A = this chain, B = another copy of it.
């Protein structure tokens, strides 16, 4: 359709910037949120100011208890959640640090783009 620069493809690309490790780390962070159940968990924890126990996550998610536990572990391993034992129950809350990191990753992209 649109014909421009028929001679060569395109100019030299800007500095690579991102290392393999950085790209993988960023992808892992997004991977932790790449599931509806985990998005819901983060949503619940974000809207609730306080830590939430697992027993209040199982029912609204509509998933079995082992599956919920599995997702919580994934989020915790990714550094997004904090686990706190209160007697018999386990309470989870968002880690501010991780959310800020996620925020910064996206913002950098937005700055370069917009």
Measured CB to CB, the residues of A under 8 A from B are 1-6, 9-11, 13-18, 20, 23-24, 26-27, 30-31, 33-40, 42-48, 50-53, 55-56, 60, 84-87, 89, 91, 94, 96, 99-100, 102-103, 106-110, 112-114
Q: Among the listed B3, B20, B96, which residue makes an inter-chain contact with A36, where contact means beta carbons less than 8 Å apart?
A: B20
User: Which residues of the partner chain B approach A3 to less than 8 Å between Cβ atoms?
Assistant: 86-87
Bound complex: CA A33 to CA B53 (Å):
29
Bound complex: CA A4 to CA B33 (Å):
30
Q: Among the listed B31, B85, B102, which residue makes an inter-chain contact with A2, where contact means beta carbons less than 8 Å apart?
A: B85
Nearest Cβ distance between residue A18 and chain B, in whole angstroms? Answer: 5
